[in-house]
Amino acid sequence: MKSITIKGSKRESVGKSATKALRNAGMVPCVLYGGDEPVHFAAEELAFTKLVYTPNAHTVALEIGEKMKFNAILQDIQFHPLTDKILHIDFYQLFDDKAVSMDIPVKILGAAPGVLNSGGVLSRNKRKLRVRALPANLPDFIEADISNLELGSKLYVTELENENYRFLHPDNTVVCQVRTSRTSLQVETDEQIDEVEAETKDESSGDDKAAEEPKSEQ
């Protein structure tokens, strides 16, 4: 998995006033968990652009000061409810022999016959899947081949299993499926309405004709 380097400085004070001062200076307070003890640090908000505002998954090479270096993944992030500014970020330290859980983006491969030939629409139920693996086995993305999906078919997470990682989802989780488009449904509904109206008209015509025929004399 690709890594992004973020440089920061260790925080000497973690109080509210110090945190507010950091944010006013364009810095983001952060905490690194997973080691012997949490590491409090701060980095410029612009440094997180490629990590946060992207659909891709990355590990992070943290350089805190001149001597502290850690490999980590983003664990949690808090945004301001009105401005969407980053308020706080939690990281989790990586160790080569310790499995971690991470959300990985799904990459669609191929073309679904149900879309090409039957007018269906591809519905992506899961754009990311959570996996558990050793850091070295974390993939950049998970490939989902849809070349066999006909109209009404579904691709389940069990069909994407890989020996390098384990999915943290129920076996019946649908990754994507080919649905009937709204246009097709509308056309089908209109045709059904026309058929019903035609049948009703025929029945009415038959009743009217029967009513017009004179009764035979006894």
CATH number of the domain where residue 148 is located: 2.170.120.20
Place of tokens 């035979």: 216
Q: What is the pLDDT of residues 140-178, one digit of tens each?
A: 999 999 999 999 999 999 999 999 999 999 999 999 999
At a CB cut-off of 8 Å and minimum separation 6, what does 68 contact? 10, 39, 62
Task: Tell me what pLDDT residue 154 has.
Answer: 96
Contact 140/2 with Cβ under 8 angstroms? yes
Nearest residue to 132 (alpha-carbon basis) of 92, 173, 104, 170 = 104
Using DSSP, state whether 73 is helix, strand or coil: strand
- Residue 69 shares a structural domain with residue 131: no
Q: What is the pLDDT of residues 17-72, one digit of tens each?
A: 889 999 999 999 999 999 999 999 999 999 999 999 999 999 999 999 888 999 99
**Domain boundary, last residue among 35, 68, 94:** 94
Task: Tell me what pLDDT residue 94 has.
Answer: 97
- Residue 107 shares a structural domain with residue 68: no
At a CB cut-off of 8 Å and minimum separation 6, what does 77 contact? 52, 86, 88, 89, 90
The DSSP 8-state label assigned to residue 47 in this structure reads G
Question: Has residue 206 been placed in a domain?
Answer: no
**Domain boundary, last residue among 94, 124, 144:** 94
Q: Which domain holds residue 143?
A: 101-182
- Strands in 120-124's sheet, in edge-to-edge order, are 120-124, 174-180, 154-156
Q: Looking at the predicted structure, is the pLDDT value of residue 76 above 70?
A: yes
Radius of gyration of the chain (CA): 30
Q: What is the pLDDT of residues 196-209, one digit of tens each?
A: 455 555 555 555 55
Place of tokens 């971690």: 100
- Residue 65 shares a structural domain with residue 105: no
Question: Has residue 156 been placed in a domain?
Answer: yes
Question: Has residue 132 been placed in a domain?
Answer: yes
Q: What percent of the chain has pLDDT above 90?
A: 71
- Residue 159 shares a structural domain with residue 106: yes
- Strands in 166-167's sheet, in edge-to-edge order, are 142-145, 100-109, 128-133, 166-167
Nearest residue to 106 (alpha-carbon basis) of 160, 25, 29, 26 = 160
How many contiguous H segments (helices) and E segments (strands) does the chain have? 4, 13
What's the whole-model pTM score? 0.77
User: Looking at beta carbons, which pairs linking 169-174 to residues 24 or more positions away fall under 8 Å?
Assistant: 169/126, 169/129, 169/130, 173/125, 173/126, 174/125, 174/126
